[in-house]
Amino acid sequence: MKVSRNGSRQTIAALVEDRPGVLTRVASLFRRRGYNIESLAVGTTDEQGVSRMTIVVEGTSEVGDQVAKQLDKLIDVINAAVLDSTESIDRELALIKVVARPDQRREILDVAEIFRASVVDLSVSSLIIQITAANETIEALTDNLRPYGILEMVRTGAIALVRGEDTTQVVEFEDDELRRFHMGSGRIPTGQLPHLSD
Amino acid sequence: MDTLFGYPGGVVLPLYDRFPHYPDINHILVRHEQAAGHAADGYARASGKLGVALATSGPGATNLVTAITNAHMDSVPTLFITGNVTRSLLGKDGFQEADITGITMPTVKHNYLVMRPDDLAYAFKEAAYIATTGRPGAVHIDIPKDVFIEEAEFSWPETINVRGYNPPSTAEQGSIQQAAEIIDHSERPLIFAGHGIILSDAADDLRKFAEKSGTPVVNTLLGLGSIAPDHVLSYGMMGMHGSYWANHAASNADVIIGLGMRMDDRALGRFEDMNPTAKIIHVDIDPAEHQKNLETHVPIVGNVSDVLKQLTNAVQKATHPDWLSWIDDLRIGHRASMSVPEGPELTAQYAIARIADYIGTESVLCTGVGQHQMWSAQFGAISRPRQFITSGGLGTMGFEVPAAMGAQAACPDRSVWTICGDGGFQMTFQEIGTMVDAKLPVRMAIMNNCYLGMVRQWQELFYDQNLVDVDISQPDFLKIAEAYGIKGIRVDNQEDVDAAIEEAEATEGPVLIDFRVVQQDNVWPMVPAGAALSETIESAEESAMS
């Protein structure tokens, strides 16, 4: 089942200024307001100085709306919106290391193939399976792999985009001076700092 | 900005070193950084201008934290400046280093750690813009010592563009129409007027809207002064210590219009039972306040002053005589629980009512937090915006003395009185020294009942009379006045009250009055924490029965 708008999980996309402390501000907000982060993924965007966070939180759609509005209140958050699950694509990457004795390999490969996952590492007694899919698909794959023994696994957390032409985008652009201030403020400048005794 | 409250220390010395070159800046040297923060807060509340406080790194900065949180929680436009250790020592646990931007992050609207001198002008321009626009709040700038020292080309940015910050003004017309329709069809409409009315100078807009739509108004604590108490549609304060009639009007209205208020638990009681059948229209500049505590039918995002003009245009002229007379009857029937107690004893209620009557509405009335605060709200006759200065959200004891000092600095021509608790006064009275130095003639009236009164009230009512650590001892307050070289007056009897107030007004302040009020008195009416507004209790006897 996909993440539904009224389900127990909400996906929020936030465009944020790439500034020192922005992740702390977001994390601090979640702690202070008592929201549970299921996953958080951050990466750069096509515009310099702007990062995109995809945050999955537990809760109803009302919780999702509150989270988005509280996020939007942060000055460093350019905009934040709850993504409607039926109108957006969300994907997550997982690497799963499974116990695979030679006599079990074929079976496990069949499972992986059903889920369109691929094998990226092989040893005498284990496999690493890579899958890029929606959260629920990954859950289903791990359920099917668990009987063989999952040694360890790592997941990226979801990233999501709205379907079609609609975008979650920055409409205003900053001039170079302002961008320099916003991106630099709070970071120790490069080069020689004045000596302590100065 | 012309006035700032501060306290020097190692890393901000480069800045202090330059003050003599800028005689236009009025730096007021306080005795404790927390007081600098509260003074900036009081200054901003009294004047509507940005309040500014300055402290050094480490303990200086951490001492500001209570004041920062207090100002931000009540949406007061304030700027807090701290120094920090030299850049190369940041993160190395240097002497007097504190990660103050990390500490203040959750209690400010925004903060900055400025790492390059070139960025200072931007940071200050942007900080002042963010603090004073939209929903106002506290902004904090932290500056390492060597950033103060290093030279840079000064260029003041003409405009500021913060793409993640676009404060709204007027509301979207669709929501105005929707609200107007509900208001036009209402039989028992009621306005909850909050601090936003005062912050956005919307008292006139509120009055016009209320008059056109015939809607009675009740106030939150911080909304007092948004409408004069003698206005025919004004019904006073709602909430935990609001009047019986205001709380029952809130519980019986069919349409509630929340204006510039955040649906707080102290104002609304138990959310689920705060009139579940009413249609709720909630106007706030901060969309995150909508649906936070209470389900709202029509959330309206906008500056309450602009929105009120839009709403006034959109609604039809109406009157609700039956509804008003229903509330009026309650007011007549329950006036006693919102009156100064009769009898010969000196009560805090009596002293506060006399002070309010004597000083009039052009004065400023500050308070601390506790019983005396609630009595000031009830009997202070608060009639104009910015007349009443009190710590609402954070509830900070000790706010009274430094906040009054800040209000006096902002309003040199007004008489500034502060109603103090005997507990709160002992937290910050060191600022009398500042008042004396800076010639800030604040009138301090201590409601001295030899108890932490509100705590005792809760222990009596909710902890089975088990009084623990509330009978706080007092120094001789007149000797404290004497030590600071100011006039001190003691009042033990009701009949001496007027003379003392008169003398305090006639004295070139600061001046202190120690009102030795009755010890065992509680604030009524009361909605116990977690109860609904409809469960307002009016007396100790009623409380004992429930």
pLDDT digits (tens, 9 = 90+) for B214-224: 999 999 999 99
pLDDT of residue B392: 97
pLDDT of residue A147: 96
Closest listed residue to residue B203, CA positions, set B231, B168, B176: B231
| pLDDT for A102 beyond 60 | yes
Domain assignment present for residue A183? The answer is no
Distance between CA atoms of B528 and B28, rounded to whole angstroms? 41
Say whether both A71 and A39 belong to one domain: yes
pLDDT of residue A184: 80
Mean pLDDT of chain B: 96
pLDDT digits (tens, 9 = 90+) for A21-30: 899 999 999 9
Q: How confident is the model at residue A167 (pLDDT cuts 50, 70, 90)?
A: confident
Domain assignment present for residue A117? The answer is yes
- Of A39, A61, A83, which residue is a domain's last? A83
Q: How confident is the model at residue A145 (pLDDT cuts 50, 70, 90)?
A: very high
Do residues B205 and B260 lie in contact, with contact meaning Cβ atoms separated by under 8 Å? no
pLDDT digits (tens, 9 = 90+) for B415-433: 999 999 999 999 999 999 9
pLDDT of residue A196: 56
Interface contact A185-B115, CB threshold 8 A: yes
Domain count, chain A: 2
Per cent of chain A over pLDDT 70 is 93
| pLDDT for B15 beyond 90 | yes
Quick check: ipTM above 0.85? yes
Per cent of chain B over pLDDT 90 is 95
Domain assignment present for residue A136? The answer is yes
Which residue segment(s) compose the domain that A120 sits in? 90-155
Say whether both A73 and A101 belong to one domain: no
Say whether both A79 and A3 belong to one domain: yes
Say whether both A53 and A119 belong to one domain: no
Say whether both A2 and A78 belong to one domain: yes
Joined tokens for residue A40: 């958080």
Joined tokens for residue B379: 């009997």
Give the CATH number, domain containing residue A138: 3.30.70.1150
pLDDT of residue A5: 45
The lowest-confidence range among A188-192, B299-303, B363-367, B380-384 is A188-192
Distance between CA atoms of B158 and B10, rounded to whole angstroms? 33
Say whether both A115 and A70 belong to one domain: no
Beta strand B138-144 with A88-99 is: unpaired
Q: Which residues of B are catalytic?
A: 33, 95-96, 145, 454
Domain assignment present for residue A126? The answer is yes
| pLDDT for B275 beyond 90 | yes
Do residues B98 and B126 lie in contact, with contact meaning Cβ atoms separated by under 8 Å? no
- CA angle B45/B51/B56 to nearest 5° reads 140
Give the CATH number, domain containing residue A49: 3.30.70.260
- Of A41, A65, A83, which residue is a domain's last? A83
Give the best residue of B13, B124, B162, B294 to mutate against chain A (max A CB count within 10 A).
Answer: B162
Say whether both A76 and A150 belong to one domain: no
Say whether both A54 and A31 belong to one domain: yes
Domain assignment present for residue A103? The answer is yes
Residues of A in contact with B149 (CB under 8 A): 194, 198
Q: Show Cβ contacts of residue B295 under 8 Å, excluding neighbours closer than 6 positions.
A: B280
Q: How confident is the model at residue A195 (pLDDT cuts 50, 70, 90)?
A: low
Which of B101, B122, B146 has its CB closest to that of A194?
B146
In A, residues 82-121, which contact B (CB 8 Å cutoff)?
none
Tell the residue number behind the tokens 């698909």, with chain if given: A137
pLDDT digits (tens, 9 = 90+) for B495-517: 999 999 999 999 998 999 999 99
Q: How confident is the model at residue A197 (pLDDT cuts 50, 70, 90)?
A: low
- Of A51, A83, A115, which residue is a domain's last? A83
pLDDT digits (tens, 9 = 90+) for A28-44: 999 999 999 999 999 99
pLDDT digits (tens, 9 = 90+) for A185-194: 888 777 777 6
| pLDDT for A85 beyond 90 | no
Say whether both A104 and A60 belong to one domain: no
Residue A183 near chain B (CB below 8 Å) = no
Per-residue pLDDT averaged across B430-444, rounded? Answer: 98
Domain assignment present for residue A180? The answer is no
Interface contact B286-A186, CB threshold 8 A: no
Per-residue pLDDT averaged across A2-29, rounded? Answer: 82
Tell the residue number behind the tokens 């506290």, with chain if given: B138
Interface contact B87-A198, CB threshold 8 A: no
Q: How confident is the model at residue A2 (pLDDT cuts 50, 70, 90)?
A: very low
Domain assignment present for residue A58? The answer is yes
pLDDT of residue A194: 65
Ordered domains of chain B (ranges, CATH):
3-149 (3.40.50.970), 173-337 (3.40.50.1220), 342-520 (3.40.50.970)
Per-residue pLDDT averaged across B453-475, rounded? Answer: 95
End-to-end CA distance of chain B: 53
Order across the sheet with B234-237: list the strands.
B234-237, B217-219, B189-193, B255-259, B279-284, B298-301
A86 vs chain B: nearest CA distance in angstroms?
24
Per-residue pLDDT averaged across B132-144, rounded? Answer: 98
Joined tokens for residue B535: 């469960």
Interface contact A184-B115, CB threshold 8 A: yes
Say whether both A70 and A144 belong to one domain: no
| pLDDT for B32 beyond 60 | yes
B501 vs chain A: nearest CA distance in angstroms?
45
Q: How confident is the model at residue B8 (pLDDT cuts 50, 70, 90)?
A: very high
Domain assignment present for residue A79? The answer is yes
Say whether both A58 and A19 belong to one domain: yes
pLDDT digits (tens, 9 = 90+) for B293-336: 999 999 999 999 999 999 999 999 999 999 999 999 999 999 99
